């Protein structure tokens, strides 16, 4: 089975996808990632999802350490030790130089994912495990439906829950004093 995409035929039934296969896919608003060699296609984000990312980015801009830069829509390619892994966090903070196509995990200081019905299991499961295994120091998972933001930090090579934000409990560290309602509000 093949699909005609931008003039190139791309097999949709690859035994194993690699990053180079993504280069033939259309720039159509869908998010194309590879987890353990399998293509993962996620629909464009909802308005609420995008508002959370915009609000988080705005809050973090004045709070991240000097030299950190915040990026949306860019990928992280994990070292090729087995099946390909290429993910696009909703937001990331980096202190590394600007790469041509994607970041290596050692340049990433913080990743943020906003859970939705189609991504919540992956965000809390395989993506969290991948970020942890590749030494990304901090992982924030926002779950608008559950009204929580959970922060995990590396401790001895494993993530531990550092803190959790809700409507009633403010954040800590880079989000000290911020409440979840500020992140889920419609930006002005």
pLDDT in tens, 44-99: 889 999 999 999 999 999 999 999 999 999 999 997 767 889 999 999 999 989 99
pLDDT score of 9: 43
Has residue 152 got a pLDDT over 60?
yes
Tell me what the mean pLDDT of segment 105-125 comes to. 89
Token code pair at residue 14: 């690859």
Instruction: Please report the domains of the chain, with CATH numbers, ordered by start residue.
Output: 45-184 (3.90.1570.10)
pLDDT score of 4: 40
pLDDT score of 82: 76
pLDDT score of 6: 39
Q: How far apart are CA 23 and CA 16, in angstroms?
A: 15
pLDDT score of 162: 97
- Which residues, 6 or more positions from 152, have their beta carbon under 8 angstroms from its beta carbon? 128, 132, 138, 139, 140, 141, 159, 160, 161, 162
Tell me what the mean pLDDT of segment 115-121 comes to. 82
Has residue 11 got a pLDDT over 60?
no
Which helix (H) or strand (E) is 133 found in, with range?
A: helix 126-133
pLDDT score of 7: 35
pLDDT score of 12: 55
pLDDT score of 94: 97
Tell me what the mean pLDDT of segment 18-35 comes to. 92
Q: What is the mean pLDDT of the chain?
A: 89
pLDDT score of 122: 81
């Amino acid at each position: 089975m093949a699909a005609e995409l931008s003039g190139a035929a791309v097999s949709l039934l690859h035994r194993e996808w690699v990053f180079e296969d993504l280069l033939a896919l259309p720039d159509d608003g869908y998010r194309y990632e590879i987890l353990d060699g399998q293509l993962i296609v996620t629909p464009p984000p909802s308005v609420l999802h995008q508002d959370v990312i915009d609000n988080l980015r705005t809050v973090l801009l004045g709070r991240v350490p000097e030299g950190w830069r915040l990026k949306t829509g860019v990928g992280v390619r994990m070292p090729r030790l087995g099946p390909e892994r290429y993910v696009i966090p909703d937001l990331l903070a980096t202190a590394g130089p600007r790469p041509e196509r994607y970041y290596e995990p050692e340049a990433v200081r913080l990743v943020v994912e906003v859970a939705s019905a189609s991504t919540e299991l992956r965000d809390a499961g395989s993506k969290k495990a991948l970020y942890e295994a590749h030494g990304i120091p901090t992982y924030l998972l926002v779950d608008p439906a559950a009204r929580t933001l959970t922060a995990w930090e590396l401790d001895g090579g494993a993530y531990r829950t550092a803190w959790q934000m809700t409507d009633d409990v403010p954040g800590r560290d880079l989000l000290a004093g911020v409440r979840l309602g500020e992140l889920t509000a419609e930006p002005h």
